[in-house]
Amino acid sequence: MTDNNKIVLPQSQRYPARYRGPLMSNKYNDFQEGVIEDISNLAMAVNSLSSEISKSMLVLANESSYLRRQVRALRGQQDYAEKVAAASDALTYRYLDVGDTRGITFLNDLDDTRSSMLSADYGEVTLPPNAIENKFYVTSLTNGVIVTPPDLVVSVKGTFDKIDGKGLINYERGGRVVAGDPTMAFNGNNQTFWIRKVEFPIDSRVDQVECELTVSVPESVSTDSNTIEVIPFPNGTVDITELATASDLGNNFIRVPKFEPVDNATATRYHFATKTVDQIKIRLRQRNWIEENGKKVFYYGLQELGLKFIDYDKNFILNNTFGANNSFVMEIPAPDGHGFNLIYRVDPAPNFLLEDINKRHIHVKISTSSDFSSGVLWNSDISSPPQLTTTPINAFGASRLYAYVELNYVNDSGGILSPFEVGTTPYFKGLGMAYTLLAV
């Protein structure tokens, strides 16, 4: 047994008895001693691991408690800032992130078949899917087990050419690499991870490492795709410097539409018009190292890299009755003891207001009524946002506002500034507002 890795190597050996032969006491004793030693080693390893798990759980519990307190403090700070702004009749601000899920509702009187799809992990709302086809794994019809096709081909390298004129470069700087198992990023199991480790002497001046992963879609799977999902590991500390696809097995990679290099990436979903995808190439960079056993260590990889074809619901009728289109509601409460006065800005993310007003694929109404039967203050299909006018929206001291959001499939272009590609689902990430408050 090695203490550093907690690996237990069995010491006992099997001594087969001769047919109708005498029992050898020395072999019997050797076997017993080996079994006892193995049991002792296993007990030591289990106790050591149990102690480490207990310590890790204690650390995680304390850190989680700290983070919860920080979030609570930030929310308290936001409430206090709004109250101070109300007292001085000053402008205050709020951003409502759908990933938070607070206030996001699919009311009982909405038809469930017309409820939009909220994905908190990716922080977005999309049209609901009719069907989803995964390209890197399938689910067994007999036992429900996830099966990865045997011809899934994944390659990872730290030495590659970025086609930037610098030629072939080792971006892992000659560090000691523990490659990990990259197939773990393609099994649909978010409890497993592909973790790549690059180790340097503690006094090394290397400040970042980067690798390039290429995966080919198994031959048995249809290559028509329209969605890529990336969950880096560790989530929030790895940079994605490139994401591209190829329609064959050659080297003709094209960057995914709307992709821009992102630092400290979190779980992100990329939507594009249906096309053939035979390969995906992704480059990951790690700039956050830790000290481990007297070494400078970089950890990076993927929790999941998903390629999917999603058939989205395309039903939509303009000016349909409440809840009849794919939709959801955001509830926006004012701070205790206050009501909304004047709304000076409405900023959705992404900014669908850049689309031509008669060609938009997201539609928002802001109201003081939860069923929108009355009290509609603003309709994005009719009015410009208040920041583009000289007149703010009067909320008449309402203690709560409701944003009713409808989505319709992007069959046609919304204009040259549209954030959505034709042939995709629109997606909604959040709503920013600037307003004044009244004491009530």
Q: What is the Cα–Cα distance from 280 to 275, expressed in whole angstroms?
A: 13
**DSSP strands (E only) in 174-267:** 176-178, 194-201, 209-216, 224-233, 238-246, 254-255, 262-265
Please say if the pLDDT value at position 185 is more than 60. yes
More confident residue, 379 or 57: 379
Burial of 177 (0-12, 13-18, 19+ CB in 10 A): middle
Burial class (CB in 10 A: 0-12, 13-18, 19+), 265: buried
Predicted local distance difference test score (pLDDT) of residue 85: 83
Please say whether the beta carbons of 362 and 126 come within 8 A: no
Report which of residues 115 and 155 the model is more confident about. Answer: 155
Pick the more confident residue, 420 or 101.
420
Are β-strands 430-439 and 92-97 bridged in parallel, bridged antiparallel, or unpaired?
antiparallel
Q: How far is Cα 288 from Cα 259, in angstroms, rounded to an integer? A: 23
pLDDT of 424 strictly over 90: yes
18 band by pLDDT with thresholds 50, 70 and 90? low
Band (pLDDT 50/70/90 cuts) for residue 298 is very high
Which range, of 135-144, 173-182, 319-328, averages the lowest pLDDT?
135-144
What's the pTM?
0.84
- Which pLDDT score, from 0 to 100, does residue 140 have? 67
* Tens digit of each residue's pLDDT (9 = 90 or more) over 148-163: 788 889 999 999 999 8
pLDDT over threshold 90, residue 197: yes
Count, in order, helices (H) and strands (E) of the chain: 1, 29
pLDDT at 317 over 60: yes
Segment holding 163, helix H or strand E: none
Domain boundaries along the sequence of the chain: 25-81, 91-124+314-439, 130-312
pLDDT value, residue 31: 74
Q: What pLDDT does 56 receive?
A: 77
What was the pLDDT predicted at 319? 86
Asked whether the predicted pLDDT for residue 30 surpasses 80, the reply is no
pLDDT, average across residues 340-361: 95
Q: In sequence order, what are the residues at sequence separation of 6 or more whose Cβ sits closer than 8 angstroms to the Cβ of residue 325?
A: 114, 315, 316, 317, 406, 407, 408
**Alpha carbon distance 37, 45 (integer Å):** 12
Confidence band (pLDDT; 50, 70, 90) for 279? very high
Q: Which residue has the higher pLDDT, 359 or 108?
A: 359
What would the mean pLDDT of 45-73 be, rounded to a whole number? 81
For position 374, what pLDDT does the model report? 81
Query: Tokens 């067994």 label which residue?
Result: 140
Separation of alpha carbons 144 and 257, rounded Å: 34
How much is the pLDDT for 188?
85
Which has more pLDDT, 14 or 36? Answer: 36
> Is the pLDDT assigned to residue 142 strictly greater than 80?
no
* pLDDT tens digits for range 220-256: 888 899 999 999 999 899 999 999 999 998 889 999 9
The per-residue pLDDT for 21 is 65
Question: Residue 131: in which H helix or E strand, if any?
Answer: strand 129-134
Share of the chain above pLDDT 70, in %: 92
User: Over the stretch 127-139, which tens digit does the pLDDT of each residue have?
Assistant: 999 999 999 987 7
pLDDT beyond 50 at 275: yes
Does the pLDDT at position 187 exceed 90? no
Say yes or no to pLDDT of 108 above 60.
no
pLDDT band per the 50, 70, 90 thresholds, residue 2: very low
CB 291 within 8 A of CB 202: yes
CATH topology of domain 130-312: Jelly Rolls (2.60.120)
For 84, list phi and psi in degrees, rounded to 5. -65, -40
Maximum distance among all Cα pairs of the chain, rounded to whole angstroms: 105
- Kindly give, in sequence order, each residue whose CB lies less than 8 Å from that of residue 284, ignoring residues fewer than 6 positions away: 210, 211, 213, 232, 238, 239, 240, 241, 300, 301, 302
Percent of the chain with pLDDT over 90: 61
Higher-confidence residue of 164 and 52: namely 164
pLDDT at 141: 63
What does the pLDDT read at residue 109? 55
DSSP code of 156?
E
Select the more confidently predicted residue: 329 or 88.
329
